[in-house]
Amino acid sequence: MPTLITRAEALRRIEEEGGKPRCLMCAIRDRAVGAVHAVFEDDELLVMLPRYVRRWGHLMVMPKAHATRYDQVDAALWTRVSQRSLQAARVVERVMRPLRCYMASTGSSAGELTQSSEHLHVHVVPLYQADDKPSDIFSWQGGVYVGAPAEWAALTRRYRAAWDQCWP
């Protein structure tokens, strides 16, 4: 069962894994900050399980090319991001059976490592409670869930097994 840890503990662990890289998403892409649990990857995109989450089963879809603004991404690439985000949501629904999924492209200028990468990406978050709200999903104030290596491996396997069956 995933373990709930405090925000402070999560930030401490992230610092130990690689500190505050210039771009967290590029560091993840380059495997420079901890393990990457990739569900799908090709030359342009990475679909992965973020290791610090508010809801177990959360997926993230990101273009590998560094871009911080939509005018830096051509329409064909963002169409692929959108298609893979839809596929990721279908995988989450099939495997985790949430009440619904929340999908968002987020970013922050707050300067905090968590939830603040300016590198364009999409979160696909399973919602298990009827009253789940985005303000809670993207805030680490209530702590975050982390998994043991075997838990990450098992969830990655389950998602990969469903991946091809869920193509839009």
Cα separation, 19 vs 40, whole angstroms:
26
CATH T-level topology, domain 3-159? HIT family, subunit A (3.30.428)
Name the residue ranges covered by the structural domains of the chain.
3-159
What average pLDDT does the structure give for the chain? 90
Cα separation, 60 vs 89, whole angstroms:
10
Task: Specify the residue for token string 């005018």.
Answer: 71
Helices 75-96 and 149-163 pack at an angle, to 10 degrees, of: 110
pLDDT in tens, 85-125: 999 999 999 999 999 999 998 655 454 444 467 889 999 99
